[in-house]
A and B are shown apart, each in its own frame.
Chain A
Amino acid sequence: KAGVTQTPRYLIKTRGQQVTLSCSPISGHRSVSWYQQTPGQGLQFLFEYFSETQRNKGNFPGRFSGRQFSNSRSEMNVSTLELGDSALYLCASSLTGVEETQYFGPGTRLLVL
């Protein structure tokens, strides 16, 4: 079974631009979560999607948004990029249930100049 895939793997943008990151979950997984990882803040939760609906949201500004499609694929968008948005963005998918493991993709490394 194929793992979680994320595209693109690397991205360089300038301040003020916007970016869209994509995540394809493991087949059969309907829950998709996004996390931001930076050296200073560690791993921070962005959002969780299930059945095309955002079910949970972390403490991020409205510039961060996402969506999930009917095939469970998910995208996240960051508008008006800031230097502090430079990070590793990780997507994870799982079956439902707190006992279910979230499996992570390879991540997208975003550098904002």
Chain B
Amino acid sequence: AQKITQTQPGMFVQEKEAVTLDCTYDTSDPSYGLFWYKQPSSGEMIFLIYQGSYDQQNATEGRYSLNFQKARKSANLVISASQLGDSAMYFCAMRESLDRGSTLGRLYFGRGTQLTVWP
């Protein structure tokens, strides 16, 4: 089963509008981290925002917010006031423990959503 599912291969949004990028995850581990990364055409993976599995409040970082619905296992990224520079590929990722008690763990990535912001 896929650990991370991003169902929107592409999204279009007009400048200054808000957009929501969907992400659902699958884990039985009680402790995990959820992350969103942005990858422009240059290839570098840029960290945007983090949500911990035990966090009660949704994470926010500037124009980015994470809509965390634990029971539904969803972690959608909301970008407010879109800018032309937001055009990029966006990846949702989850980090869970290598094994019980371990502090190590790999990232599982979705297939990404290509966001295009138009003027």
Q: Tell me, yes or no, whether A binds B.
A: yes
Residue in B42, B47, B109 whose CB lies within 8 Å of A101:
B47
Asked whether, in the complex, the Cβ of B43 is within 8 Å of the Cβ of A109, the reply is yes
Does any Cβ of A come within 8 Å of B83's Cβ? Answer: no
Pair A98/B43 contact, Cβ less than 8 Å: no
The smallest beta-carbon distance between A68 and chain B, in angstroms, is 13
Q: How far is the CA of A92 from the CA of B91 in the complex (A)?
A: 15
In the complex where A48-B104, A88-B43, A106-B42 touch, is A98 in contact with B95 (Cβ < 8 A)?
yes
Q: How far is the CA of A88 from the CA of B6 in the complex (A)?
A: 21
List residues of A (21-50) whose CB comes within 8 Å of B's CBs.
Answer: 31, 33, 35, 42-43, 45, 48, 50
* Least CB separation from B50: chain A residue: A101
Q: Which of A42, A97, A106 contacts B112 (CB 8 A)?
A: A42
C-alpha gap A30/B43 in the complex (Å): 24
A residues near B105, Cβ cutoff 8 Å? 48, 56, 98
A104 touches B104 (CB 8 A): no
Q: Which chain A residue has the least Cβ–Cβ distance from B42?
A: A106
Determine if A48 and B106 form an interchain contact, defined as CB atoms under 8 angstroms apart. Answer: yes
Interface string of A96-113 (1 = CB under 8 A from B): 111111111111010000
Contacts A/B (CB < 8 Å), 6 sampled: A35-B109, A45-B108, A100-B33, A101-B50, A102-B107, A103-B47
Binding site for B on A (CB under 8 A): 31, 33, 35, 42-43, 45, 48, 50, 55-56, 58, 88, 90, 92, 96-107, 109
